Amino acid sequence: MDAAIILRQLDHGLRETTFTDLGERYRGKVRDTYRIDDRLILVTTDRISAFDHVLRQTIPFKGQVLNQLAAYFFEATSDLVPNHVLSVPDPNVTVAMRCEPVQIEFVVRAYVVGHAWRTYRTGKRILCGKTLPDGLQQNSRLPEPILTPSTKAHEGHDEDISREEAIAQGIIDAETFDQLEGYALALFERGAEMAAEQGLILVDTKYEFGRTPDGQYVVIDEVHTPDSSRYFYTDTYDELLSQDKPQRQLSKEFVREWLMDHGFMGKQGQILPDLPEAFRVEAASRYIELYESVTGKAFEPDLHLDPVARIREAVFSLQ
């Protein structure tokens, strides 16, 4: 997309919605969620978070990319795992079934990168109860994808947890854990296949699940988006790995790297920096690139200068 279009949208990002007449609102890091009877209205904003902090600046079109990409993958995996989607009435909005969230994130990793690498390079070889082999370098492929769950912290950082710890703490029972692990691995396999068709490698991702009122477990939140997943380019993977160079990747890891370069990792006493306009344009371009690379489709943005008004019209037409 032309950078000029993104520049024009910098002052028209979707920071938040406050539809008080929709009832109770939960403001997450990225989404504004409204509850209406047995439905949820999920509004994906242009907020961006890293190290469990929401940055002060928005990223143009980010919400549209995430919501539409999640819808794309929910539909593409619905034959494997049921999901919570009822409809997508607006580029930033998903109407979903109301579920009781499982208090564990199911993180699947096929490569040693990010948090897994930061743990591995300290000398640790056990991650969430899984043993990692010796001799790996950054970005190495694991013998097979592994599940590395984490707790869903309401405040602060999520924490790694093993299957045994989660069961012992009463967070989840063994039967449910094993069912959802199967779901997560099946979703990852499908996502990896779809990525490979587009010349990409699905490196790692997280899945969240919820329980419907009738007791069915469904995948919720998002699937295989740049906020929940990391992708490498297939054509340069082997060469860059052999040279021990950083991989070309599609994810929001570059945001974390920018923050780290500017002295912020979410630790106490560190000051959250502001994102300059040029970086916000770059970030928007990367999100759009990921959408187009993963789906093989052109991203068609809605350029409405008042996204809140547009969303209000779409949401209230559902009443």
pLDDT for 119-136, tens place per residue?
A: 999 999 999 999 999 999
Flag whether 237 is in a domain.
yes
Flag whether 14 is in a domain.
yes
- Does 235 lie in the same domain as 116? yes
- Does 120 lie in the same domain as 85? no
Per-residue DSSP letter, 226: T
| Portion of the chain with pLDDT greater than 70, in percent | 98
- Does 209 lie in the same domain as 225? yes
Each residue of 77-102: pLDDT tens digit?
999 999 999 999 999 999 999 999 99
For the record, the structure tokens of 7 come out as 């520049």
Task: Identify the three-state secondary structure at position 64.
Answer: helix
C-alpha to C-alpha distance for 159 and 104, rounded to whole angstroms: 10
- Does 176 lie in the same domain as 118? yes
Contacting residues for 316 by C-beta, under 8 A, at least 6 apart: none
Residue 131 belongs to a domain with what CATH number? Answer: 3.30.470.20
pLDDT in tens, the chain (319 residues): 788 889 899 999 999 999 988 878 999 999 999 998 889 999 999 999 998 899 999 999 999 999 999 999 999 999 999 999 999 999 999 999 999 999 999 999 999 998 999 999 999 999 999 999 999 999 999 999 999 999 976 555 678 999 999 999 999 999 999 999 999 999 999 999 999 999 999 999 999 999 999 999 999 999 998 888 999 999 999 999 999 999 998 878 889 899 999 999 999 999 999 999 999 999 999 899 889 999 999 999 999 989 999 999 999 887 6
C-alpha to C-alpha distance for 45 and 63, rounded to whole angstroms: 5
* Other beta carbons within 10 Å of 287: 27
- Does 146 lie in the same domain as 218? yes
Which run of H or of E encompasses 186? Answer: helix 174-197
- Does 299 lie in the same domain as 213? no
- Does 9 lie in the same domain as 22? yes
Number of domains in the chain: 2
Rounded to the nearest 10 degrees, the angle between the axes of helix 62-77 and helix 277-295 is 20
- Does 174 lie in the same domain as 43? no
* Other beta carbons within 10 Å of 58: 24
- Does 185 lie in the same domain as 120? yes
- Does 143 lie in the same domain as 21? no
Examine the fold and report which residue of 242, 276, 295 is the final residue of a domain before the chain moves on. Answer: 242
* Predicted pLDDT of residue 319: 64
C-alpha to C-alpha distance for 217 and 26, rounded to whole angstroms: 22
Q: Residue 108 belongs to what domain range?
A: 101-242
* Other beta carbons within 10 Å of 12: 15
Contacting residues for 295 by C-beta, under 8 A, at least 6 apart: 69, 72, 198
Flag whether 253 is in a domain.
no
Residue 84 belongs to a domain with what CATH number? Answer: 3.30.200.20
Sheet holding 31-36, edge to edge: 25-27, 31-36, 39-44, 93-97, 85-90
- Does 94 lie in the same domain as 14? yes
Flag whether 255 is in a domain.
no
Per-residue DSSP letter, 20: G
* Predicted pLDDT of residue 251: 78
- Does 295 lie in the same domain as 162? no
Flag whether 247 is in a domain.
no
